[in-house]
Chain A
Amino acid sequence: MSSASPALQQQVTLIELVDRVLNKGVTLTGDITLSVAGVDLVYVGLRLLLASVSTLERLDGESP
């Protein structure tokens, strides 16, 4: 596990960030972003991670 590729390491960091920045913290919706209250940021985070994983898989596929 210590031999994780740099790309994978970056991946772990993004999960940590999404877990915190999008899923945690004080939930205060600014007066501008009121309508975004309807958008589920947890879902937005999952979508970002999926996009990131598929990018990773594509890169893996290209490597010899």
Chain B
Amino acid sequence: MKTTDALYVYGVVPKGTSPDIFANVGAEVELVEGGELAAIASRVPLAEFGEEALEANLKDPAWLEQKVNEHNAILAACVGVTTVLPFRFAAVYRDDDQVRRMLSERPELVDTLARLEGAVELGVKALLDPEALRARLAHARGLDPEVGSGRAYMMWKQLERELDEEVRSFAASCAEASHERLAAAAVDACVNPAQHPTVAGGEMLLNGAYLVRSDGDGEFRAALRQLQARYADDGVTYELTGPWPPYNFVGEEEAA
């Protein structure tokens, strides 16, 4: 029976971490220790995670959504309790020995975990309501969008183009200023591609991830409140998510 199982690894924590922190995640989790590290793992059936099965399952939205949620829930149980280094989805090993071998072959994991000690990730998205901004810019110029005559129409088209340009320019400078301000209040920072307006719920100016000390995020939150106050009238809203396990700061990719 045992040979039909494999070990799914969610991430690593320091050796000696108590498995009790996973008591409420709703999945059987064990810690496989090797060197200074412990891998957070679950026994999974090969019928689900073996090569062929996995390739098929990845195409099943219901299965994938459930597993992605579970992966995050288990790592999230560590947030604020111990330092955790998240692995990407679906790192599956044959047995405990293979997991221990992986831990011993990747000494840089120890350094990365040390770098992330006591830190969590916060996500900030800045969304722009372009219509609100256009209305404000037009109002500032004393323009009335209701004008109807032919000549006024031509003038209006010209001004429309100027407003478009102003909105674009504002979007770029607001995104840069926002990220700069937040990064200054964080240990590390990175910018991810903006999400599509359909799913983002607006024009996304910034999709940032910030590494902050879990016991000292006051400065970061204050910086966010400042930005909110500064750009509210321009139609910008900020959305804070997390604390997350530090997915964006595992040292795989250098900041662009």
A: which residues have CB within 8 A of B?
1, 4, 8, 11-12, 14-36, 39, 41, 44, 47-49, 51-53, 55
The answer to whether B55 touches A36, judged by C-beta atoms less than 8 angstroms apart, is yes
**Complex formed: what's the CA distance from A36 to B92 in Å?**
10
The answer to whether B199 touches A24, judged by C-beta atoms less than 8 angstroms apart, is no
Nearest Cβ in chain A — how far from B63, in angstroms? 10
**Complex formed: what's the CA distance from A8 to B98 in Å?**
41
The answer to whether A25 touches B201, judged by C-beta atoms less than 8 angstroms apart, is no
The answer to whether A26 touches B61, judged by C-beta atoms less than 8 angstroms apart, is no
The answer to whether B123 touches A16, judged by C-beta atoms less than 8 angstroms apart, is yes
User: Given known contacts A15-B199, A26-B11, is B6 in contact with A32 (CB within 8 Å)?
Assistant: yes
Tally of A-B Cβ pairs under 8 angstroms = 128
**Complex formed: what's the CA distance from A49 to B68 in Å?**
12
The answer to whether B88 touches A33, judged by C-beta atoms less than 8 angstroms apart, is no
The answer to whether A8 touches B201, judged by C-beta atoms less than 8 angstroms apart, is yes
> Please, could you name 25 A-B residue pairs with CB atoms under 8 Å apart, sorted by A?
A14-B65, A14-B68, A17-B69, A17-B72, A19-B192, A19-B195, A20-B247, A21-B68, A21-B89, A25-B252, A26-B86, A27-B252, A28-B91, A28-B102, A30-B9, A31-B94, A32-B49, A32-B92, A32-B94, A33-B91, A36-B90, A44-B58, A48-B68, A52-B65, A55-B61
* Chain B 102-135 interface 0/1 with A at a Cβ cutoff of 8 Å (1 = within): 1000100100100000000001000101000000
The answer to whether B55 touches A30, judged by C-beta atoms less than 8 angstroms apart, is no
Cβ of B244 under 8 Å from chain A: yes
Residues of A within 8 A of B98 (CB): 30-31
The answer to whether A49 touches B250, judged by C-beta atoms less than 8 angstroms apart, is no
The answer to whether B61 touches A24, judged by C-beta atoms less than 8 angstroms apart, is no
Nearest Cβ in chain B — how far from A43, in angstroms? 10
Cβ of B85 under 8 Å from chain A: yes
**Complex formed: what's the CA distance from A41 to B71 in Å?**
14
